[in-house]
Every structure is written in C-alpha cells, then in structure tokens.
Amino acid sequence: MSSYNGSEQAGHELIGGRYRLGERLGQGGMGVVRRATDELLGRPVAVKTLALDSGADPADALREARVVAQVRHPHVIVVHDVVEHDGMPALVMELVDGGSLADRLAAGEVLSPREAARLGLDLLDALSAAHARDVLHRDVKPANVLLEKDTGRAVLTDFGIASLPGATTLSRTGVFIGTPEYTAPERMQGDDAGPASDLWSLGALLCAATTGTSPFRRDSIGAVLHAIVYEEIRPSERLGPLVPVVQGLLERDPDRRLGAPEARRMLAACAAGEEPAEGDAYVPTLRETGPGEAGARAAGLRRRLTVPLVATALAVCVAVATVAVLRAVQDEPATGAPPRTGSPSAPPLSEPDGFRSREVTDERGFSLRVPYGAVRSTDGDRVFYTSPDGAVRVGIRIRPIPAGGAIGVMRSSDASGPKDYPGYRDGTVKETTRQGLPAARWEFTWDGFTSVEGPRHTRDVCWEQDGTLYDLWVSAPVGRPAEARVRFDEAVASFLATGG
C-alpha cells in the first residue's frame, strides 16, 4: 500500500482537528480501520472508528486504548491518540504498512516453517509482554497480525476484546466474543481463561501460517462442536520441524499446555534451522497404538495429543446459546463401576456381539475397555474415549464424594437435564449398590447437540468408595441400542482403578 500525499487526501474528512482520513484498510463487526495523515506532525497513521449501528460500547474503545498503552512492545500496536468521531471515540494508531497475515494467506502465500517460527517468536514476545501486565488478548488470529513490508516486523493488533485473567468470555450483551477456530477450548466452554489460552491461539495461527488455513475450520456449528470436544490434531507435513511446538501449544488441557519459555526455546531452534530435539519428537496418540500397547504408552506420553480443537470461521459474535451447548457437551454425565480388587489389570474379555474393543490404561489412574480406535480427550477431571466415527462416547470421572453422595449427584443431574440436554426425556434415577457400595444409576434420552448427531441415549452409573466417587457413562445414538448396551456393560465390567 502506497503512502498518501496531500493531493490524494484532498476532500477527505478531518477528525480531531488534525487527522485526515483516507482509504479503508479493513473492516470488522464493530468498526472500520482507515489510513490517515496526522497533519500536525506530518506522518501517516491508522484510525479505527466505531460503526454507529454495530452496537459497540464506546467504553470498549477507551478500554482498548488504555490496555494497549500499558503494553509497550515493538511487536504490539502503538496507540497515539483517542479522538471523537460521530459522537464515538476513534483510536489513532501507528500505521503498519504491509497488510495482515490474513491478507497474505488469502493471496495464496504461506510461510516456510522457519519463517513461521520467526513470526511465532515475535508474537510470543508480544503476548508475554501483555501477560506480564495481566492482559489477555483473546483474539490472536491472522487478521490481527500485521506484517510490515519493508522490515518484516510482525505487529499484534486489535486488543478490542482483551481482558484481565478470570474475565468471562461473554460480553455484557450476552454473546461470545472471539474467533472460534483460533479460540482455546476452555474459553469456548465458558471457563476461566489465562495466558495459556492465548498460547493455544498462537499454535493454531502457526498452523494457518504454514498451510494457508486453520486446521480446525469447519462449515457448520455441528462440526464446530464435534471438533471442540472430540477431534484430534493431525498436523500437516508442511509444518516440518514446527510439529512438536504446535502439538505442545495445542494441548487441550491448559494445565499441560506448552508454556512460553519452552515454546520460545523450540521456536528459536526451528528459526535457526535446527532439527527438533529427541525429547521434542511427536508422541503417538492412543488412537495410533495397537491393542495392548495403551498401558505401556500411557506412562511415556509426554503430552496428550488427542486435542479437540475450536474450529470454523464464524462472525465476530456467536450466540450465547452456542456457549451453553458447548458447556453441556462437556458436562455430559460422569459415572462408573467400582474398582475391582485382585489382579492389577483387567482380564481380557471376548469381543461381544462383534463390537471390537481394546483395553486402555489411563494416566488418571484407571483402566477399562473402550471401542477399538477410540480417541481420548479431557475436560478438567473428566476423561472421554470416543469411537472413531464419533458416535459412541465413554466418559470417566474420579473425584471426592460431593455432598449428597452418588444419589444426590444423579438426582441433581436429572433435575438439570432439561436445561443441559436438548430434548431431554425419559429420565430415571435409581438408588442401588455396586459390590455392596452406595451407588446410583441414571438413564435418559435426548436429541443430541446437533441435528446431524440426532437422538441419543445415555447410561450413567456412579458409586462411592473410600471417600471417592467413581463415575462412568456411555452415550450412543438411539438407533444403535445393542452396541450402546454392550459398550456400557463392557466398560463397567472391565473398569479397574489403578491409582495412577
């Protein structure tokens, strides 16, 4: 983009008594960014104005300016001034001439792994500077990364939805703010977010920078939900030596996600042309191991790489109902069968009714049989194993016994069923025992979280033992009742607490 001269600016609006607006550089849901000239100092600038009909709160623009003013860093956009425009605040910022990373990708240009690593280092430094000020960006994506054409400098911009740690992911108007395909799972679930959420977004951005698009883009809300909760990452070969760092950044559990210091070391090595260290090598997921290998692999997994990822390019705002659905997905019932005594591993079981299964030993301290090829994912203290076709889900949760015990948990879940599960019906809760231990069983039918998913039936059992509540549940399409019953009975029969 060429710079403006005086004749080109003739007749363009003057705001703040000194800033002459020029061509439009970009537009989002809340406003427009234009090239402008500071006529007092004779320098080019960029001006971000809010659209009158966007519903944007003027206070948000002022907050963005204050946030950016706190984070002074070469790779963070500089805000020079705030002036009034059409009764709304307008931000006057440095002009980074060269377009965004999104512009470059849209033109069919991608970065080499080494170029992407250098970009990642710049953005990691910018984010670290923000995090040191307790600022979360919350919208790290290619459109918010400017690339200066003369110097190659990367600049992180648009802190419009930045927040302090612990801030809710919902705005005052009740909508989700952000770009789902670059947003960490914990934010999409409405949970508290921290610096790790921005690092997850950086991992997704590095994938896009080297391949041309986010690997989590989908074309429907249903696919977005499925990707968030169940899908694993399979990095493109184009990432080359970036694969280990991307896998670490795209760890679904924020507590085990790659931290900034280690990410910086790995990115620096890649930028320098070094091959990944042996300890950084890609570790196969449970899906890639054969029968009987799960137990041996579980202890050696450096990081779990079955990462359900946020996907699809949506509008800036997604209805709050989507967030509620995402939370409901992760809050699918959690119950289980009592730990068995005796042998430290579950005895081999025959393949029931032709449904193939395999035994897995999980690092959370249990083993059981799940559908063959099942993909593992986690949500806090919940662990999920999902069949390769995504239809059958086995869930496990182990936690201290809450007030009310097993029956209290099931009754509370049943009471909130209509709110948590679309089309909730035929819910039954029964107090029972498991090997003489207090237990409860809950069953219900519901319509699934998407029309594609369809009606489902869930069997859920939990029991108490030695101050611990063991939960195990199986959810499957109503059209597959025989498999649902077999999967549930087999999981309960094979469940063994290993104390990992």
* In contact, 453 and 222? CB cutoff 8 Å: yes
Decide if 410 contacts 323 (C-beta within 8 A).
no
> Can you tell me the distance from the alpha carbon of 276 to that of 266, in angstroms, rounded to the nearest whole number?
7
Q: Catalytic residue, from 97, 122, 139, 414: name it.
A: 139
Q: In the numeric block, which tokens belong to residue 150?
A: 């003369």
Separation of alpha carbons 475 and 125, rounded Å: 43
Can you tell me which residue has the tokens 């059958």?
Answer: 392
> Is 139 labeled as catalytic in the residue annotation?
yes
Q: Checking DSSP bridges between strand 496-497 and strand 43-50, what pairing results, if any?
A: unpaired
SS3 201: helix
C-alpha to C-alpha distance for 115 and 296, rounded to whole angstroms: 37
Q: What is the number of other CB atoms lying within 10 angstroms of the CB of residue 149?
A: 12
Q: Which amino acid is at 320?
A: V
Tokens linked to 399: 């936690």
Q: What are the CA-CA distances from residue 172 to residues 175, 194, 327 (Å)?
A: 8, 20, 19
Q: Which residues contact 360 (CB under 8 A, 6 or more apart)?
A: 286, 294, 295, 298, 367, 368, 369, 370, 374, 376, 385
CA angle 270, 274, 277 (to 5 degrees): 95
Task: State the catalytic residues.
Answer: 139
